Each structure stands twice: as structure tokens, then as C-alpha cells.
Amino acid sequence: MKFSILNIKSLSGSKAQIYSIKYEEKYASELKIFIDKFNDSHTEIVNEAIQRIQLIAQKEGVQDSFFRRECPKSHNVFRLLETKELRLYCIKLDSTILLFGYSGTKKFNKIKLKDNPSLQQEVKTLQKIEDAIKERIKKGELSITPEGLKGNLENLEI
Amino acid sequence: MKNKIKKNINEQEFFDYFLKSIPKKTKRSVRISLDIASQINFILKQKNISQREFARLLNKKESEISKWLSGNHNFTVNTLATIEVVLGEDIINVPMYAKKELKYILIKTYSRSFSYLEPGQLILSPLDPSQISNANSHYIINYNKDNYETETLH
């Protein structure tokens, strides 16, 4: 599966750089798809989520309590959005880099992660993406700098 | 109200437009929620109180505390007051502009009627004479640009 990583400049700030995964077969990044998918039905929640991301990146910083871990400690897939209806997941590459991936409705996530194969699959895909990025960092193809991720962020593969 | 975003724009422009379309009220409420969560987090760290201990002190489930600290919770004044009592610290600080803007000058008391002041004693009073009755129950009898004298009202 091929993907690119898009830096979203208007959401990024001095405390964190915001990125979103764009799968080759999809028309836009996952964060834009989140807005497109839910903005009509959950306008207020989507507005709040995007505003929260910007404030975390520009003012508050990536505080642990803002995120809920969704995977074993070997990986860093977290849920940012905790509302009655929507979920939004990201990879915390480090304390200054957030990479947004899958979003979904509560209906999808009604049962716990361990009993929900579809959601498990989404989280596993994000874990694979984290592995792929870390592998490239090891090889020196990507690097984490104070300005964010540097290197070729396009045509990556898991 | 739905956000109106132009079509046929790239993703960077899309997010720029989207951010601009978020209502001011939403921006402010998100900021306040995150600030409150950050403030509680900061105090918990400073006092070395774990989320579990905090939950026990408040007689709440840890999962509920976790939601409170996610920056995505709509706190009631009652909940904030309870947290302030348990932590012994202010979580929110309401600015009192009416008091803040008062400037004080030295004035000389005029009447013996002040039980706590001797005639001629110098005290600090608000620069704006109109504020004096609110602040001290003193009343102006003689005011000029730099100084004024007071007495109680009979």
C-alpha cells in the first residue's frame, strides 16, 4: 500500500508539526477526508477537533492526557478525539510530530478495540506506517528536526 | 452552521479556509477547555498526584478523569469548584476589571466618624472619587485634581 505524508502548515505551530497520511488510492489526506465525511453531519464536533489540533500544535503542546493509547506500548497510535459520536486517530512520532490517520464513527467503534476486527485492522495499518517511517529514519532517508519531518515524504510504502 | 469551503483548491488552502470558517465562539470554547485541562494537568504534576489518586480524591472513575483531562470536556462551574477545593489551587481566574482599573492615591481623612481612622490620617483611596463609596463608604466633600478629602454620610 503506497502513501504520502502531507504537512498541514496552517495547523502546525511552534509546539508541534501536524501531518496527515494520504493513501495513494484515496482522493485526499485522511484529515481532509475526516472533514469531508463528517462536516455536514457533525459540524460542531469537526470544527472543535480541527481547532483543538491547531491549538495543541501552536499553544498547548502534545500533552499525554489529550490522547488515549490505542495500541501496545511498542507503538504510538493514539485517539485524539473522544466524543460520543466520532473518533480520530493519529501516530505520535515524537512529542512534536502528529500524523493523523483514520477517523470513524462511534457506531463503528461501539465494541472494544480487542473485539472489533475492522478497527483493529485500521490501528494495525497505522502501526505499520509508524514502523515504515521509523525504518526510514534509521536508514537516514527521513529525519526528525525542530522544523518537523525532513526527507522524501512521498511514495512511501507499507 | 455548516462551513462553506471553496471547491477546487489544494489541501493547504482547504485547511486555511476551513480554519477561517470556524466560528469564534467555537475557537474560544476549545481554547478554554484545553487551558483548563492543561492547568489541571500542571497542578497534578506539580503536586505529584496521579490520575488514579485524583479520581479517588474526587470519588470518580479514572475513565471520567481521563475524559476531563483530554481537553474535550465541558466543565460545569460546580465541577471546577470541586476540583479547586480538592487540589487547593485555582483552576480558573476570573478577571475583575472593575477592581483592576482602579488607581489609588493618598488622601487625608476629614471626619472623626471613621471608627478605624484618626482625623488627619493618610489612607489610600481610589483615584476615581466615584468609586470611593463602593470601596470604603467614604464620601467626597472636597475634590481637586490631585487630592480630595472625605467624610462619612450622615
Grid coordinates representing B120 are 488627619
* pLDDT (tens digit per residue) in A24-46: 999 999 999 999 999 999 999 99
Predicted pLDDT at B136: 45
Name the residue among B1, B3, B71 with its Cβ closest to that of A52: B71
Residues 120-149 of A with CB under 8 A from B: none
Inter-chain CB proximity B12 and A10 less than 8 Å: yes
Inter-chain CB proximity B18 and A35 less than 8 Å: yes
**A90 touching B, CB under 8 A?**
no
Integer Cα distance of A55 and B24 in angstroms: 14
Residues linked to residue A103 through DSSP beta bridges, in sequence order: A88
Which of A37, A113, A32 lies closest to A78, judged by CA?
A: A113
Q: How confident is the model at residue A156 (pLDDT cuts 50, 70, 90)?
A: very high
Predicted pLDDT at B27: 95
Residues in B closer than 8 angstroms to A43, CB to CB, are 1-3
Integer Cα distance of B88 and B77 in angstroms: 16
- Antiparallel, parallel or unpaired: β B104-109 and B148-151: parallel
Write down the ipTM of this complex. 0.90
Query: Which CATH number applies to B11-87?
Result: 1.10.260.40
What ranges do the domains of chain A cover? Answer: 2-157
As annotated, the residues of chain B forming the CATH 1.10.260.40 domain(s) are 11-87
* pLDDT (tens digit per residue) in A45-56: 999 999 999 999
Name the residue among B1, B2, B15 with its Cβ closest to that of A11: B15
Integer Cα distance of A69 and B144 in angstroms: 67
Integer Cα distance of B52 and B117 in angstroms: 53
* pLDDT (tens digit per residue) in A109-153: 555 666 667 778 888 999 999 999 999 999 999 999 988 999 999
pLDDT values of chain B reduced to their tens digit, one per residue, 154 residues: 566 555 667 999 999 999 999 999 999 999 999 999 999 999 999 999 999 999 999 999 998 999 899 988 889 999 999 999 999 999 988 877 665 555 555 555 544 444 455 555 555 555 555 544 444 444 444 444 455 555 443 3
